[in-house]
Structure 1
Amino acid sequence: MSPDEPANSPPSVGALTSVFHVYRVERDDDEIRYIGEPLISPGNLSTEVGPLFARRGYDVSVTRRHGDGGPAPYALVAEPESVGIDGIPWGNIVMLVLTVATTLYAGTWWYYIDIAGDPLNLLRAWPFTAAVLGVLATHELGHYVMSRYHGVDASLPYFIPVPPPIGTMGAIIRMRGQIPSRKALFDIGVAGPLAGLAATIAVTVVGLHLDPIAVPEQALQAADEGASIKFNDPLLLTLLADLVGQPTDYPRGLAVNPVVFGGWVGMFVTFLNLIPVGQLDGGHILRAALGQRQETVAAAVPGVLFAMAGGLYFLTEYTQSTILWGIWGVIALVMVQAGSATPLREGSIGMKRLALAGLTFVLGALCFMPVPIEIVVP
């Protein structure tokens, strides 16, 4: 850097000469595009130049240019880092606070806590909130850590608040720029489900050892006289309960501790994320494992989901699950059309990663429930 060059200015063309031959530089407001050709493997380019741009306060991504007719097939796209106002990620914080509030409120349903007389009773539902958000945060931080490890710019998690009975739709992170290689794509994709599943198992085992909840007589009478919601157990939850010698069903008047439901949420989220299509974690893992052949498998996924919805509709009375899998069939169809992530560098991920991919999908299958939720009518 020249002594006269401001510390927060973008890198000069000369600073990139060892790794990237620049034909021209384009500016669009705060975005700067270095158009040119890599002098090293494109898959390694973002890792090489990332620290240089980061020191100047810029995020950088590598993009492939198509159809412009020029000799420069790549672009380094630099944008000023944006972590919030005054360096604080306020968007992430606000979403987290809202989700803590909605999950606390959802927890009052499961603990049968009355907040009408004292709103601060809401805080008594903290174990449920800690279980649900702990599982979701661990899942997303798995993606975040591996994204940073491979030099892919990623945001902190954004939690999504919704009304009870769960209080959240999960969390997401945003990744900017292309993923350098199939190995990086695999590592980023698999880290979330495996980290989240480890947290899910821990939360479930803890919850199974906690005392059951006493169900008030009013709630029992309401269930006797009207419809109630039942959450069915996946095989993994049943196996964990058998392993630790704890029940998941209790006699009338008692219910399993709500912390166990936090584990249930983690298992359900794990299965949905591992559906092998599009930008879901399962889509990333399959794309990394099979390369472009993944498209053949992904194309069959919507049909499988629609067939499952149809089977439940014609062969059972589980209308809610019919709607659920029908909706996911539509989502999968849209994701197939949108396509999967495309890494800059192709190449085999190796037998160890392939074995880990298989193990991850097996664990995801243990979290599967054909009828996750059912409405019980007396």
Structure 2
Amino acid sequence: LETLLRSPRSPRLRLQGLLYLLTCLTTFAAGAAGWQPLVMGLDDIAPAIAAHWPRGLAYAAAVMAVLSAHEAGHFIAARLHGIPATLPFFIPVPVLLTGTLGAVIGMEGARANRRQLFDIAVAGPLAGLVLAVPLLAVGLLAGGPDGDNPFAMPPLARWVQGLVRPDLPATAAVPPNALFMAGWVGLLVTGLNMLPLSQLDGGHICRAVFGRAGNWVARGVLLSAIAAVVIAGRYNWVVMLVLVTLMGVDHPPINDDGRPLGRIRTALGLATLLIPILTFMPEPLRLD
């Protein structure tokens, strides 16, 4: 991602603006279509937009707010530490399930020391969760009684549901709505980003907390994930594992100036590494 910083500024800004607008459109279409796990033709999507455009607007606004908060956390923390960083590159997808795969920023991570790397990495997920969890809660409150919901509920979502909807059984499902889905996507994206691997947010935090030993933690996590996928037959995660492996499991070098991370940052880092567990969904979407 550091190569993004070396691209010319004006074309880069135009690309970022275009990707942002495209992601607004794809998330709007996803919400209007009712979060379908497929690519729909114009003949199919046009009636859905005409009938459900308010839902599409609500979902697009909410999910873009979550993703923007996440990336703003990274960007502001990087600027405060004097680490060059780009504005986010949003990732639109034509599949009308979520309409997006999140966003990324470019950053000169090699210039950051452990404390700076930690602050930049942790700011994004926490900022995103500050919006995602309340949106999920409001979506659960606005939802009807127990109904059909093909989207899995991770432990954190179940806990939130127990707080805001004590009238529902523990295993109940609220039919998806715009705010619920925006919060759900926020949990999914944050959980995946917080895996302690490579240049994911969790990988940065792992490197900051454990130093060079973080590479061994990452290797252990990847091997454990591969074993779990094979044993449990969860082959829907193979693409994710391949992408992480291609990114490189080990964290790239940083400016390790020998300064300790400190007790507060270490405790917070260890706590945030629990986020993937709290937001993990073995099968995010049931297609039966």
**TM-score (norm. length: structure 1):** 0.65
Secondary structure in 1 matching 2:259: coil
Tell me how far 1:198 sits from its aligned partner.
1.2
Contact 1:208 1:241 in 2 (8 A): yes
Report Cα offsets for 1:182-219 as digits up to 9, x if no partner.
10000011111111111111211221222449x9xxxx
Aligned to 1:304: 224
> Which of residues 119, 129, 134 is equivalent to 1:187?
119
**TM-score (norm. length: structure 2):** 0.84
> Which of residues 48, 59, 62 is equivalent to 1:131?
62
Percent identical: 35
Question: 2:224 corresponds to which letter in structure 1?
Answer: V
> Which of residues 187, 199, 217 is equivalent to 1:279?
199
2:73 and 2:143 map into 1 onto residues whose CA distance is 31
Tell me how far 1:335 sits from its aligned partner.
3.6
2:89 and 2:62 map into 1 onto residues whose CA distance is 17
Runs of 4+ in 1 over 6 A off after TM superposition: none
- Matching of residue 156 in structure 1 with residue 87 in structure 2: yes
- Matching of residue 323 in structure 1 with residue 235 in structure 2: yes
Unaligned runs of 5+ in 1: 1-60, 62-77, 221-228, 314-321
Cα distance change, pair 117–334 in 1 and its aligned pair in 2 (3 A):
closer
Secondary structure in 2 matching 1:160: strand
Aligned to 2:15: 91
Contact 1:185 1:343 in 2 (8 A): no
Question: Larger Rg: 1 or 2?
Answer: 1
> Which of residues 177, 197, 216 is equivalent to 1:257?
177
1:116 and 1:357 map into 2 onto residues whose CA distance is 46
Bigger helix fraction? 2
Tell me how far 1:89 sits from its aligned partner.
2.4
Question: 2:103 corresponds to which letter in structure 1?
Answer: A
Tell me how far 1:133 sits from its aligned partner.
1.2
Cα distance change, pair 117–364 in 1 and its aligned pair in 2 (3 A):
closer
Tell me how far 1:245 sits from its aligned partner.
2.0
Alignment of 1:1-378 (within 5 A): 82-84=8-10, 89-110=13-34, 116=46, 123-124=53-54, 125-163=56-94, 164-176=96-108, 178-212=110-144, 230-245=150-165, 247=168, 249-250=173-174, 255-313=175-233, 322-337=234-249, 339-376=251-288
Contact 2:69 2:127 in 1 (8 A): yes
1:332 and 1:111 map into 2 onto residues whose CA distance is 26
Of residues 261-270 and 103-112 in structure 1, the stretch that sits farther from structure 2 once superposed is 103-112
Unaligned runs of 5+ in 2: 37-43
Report Cα offsets for 1:302-325 as digits up to 9, x if no partner.
211111111222xxxxxxxx2232
Which has the higher relative contact order, 1 or 2, with Cα contacts under 8 A spaced 6 or more apart?
2
Aligned residues: 271
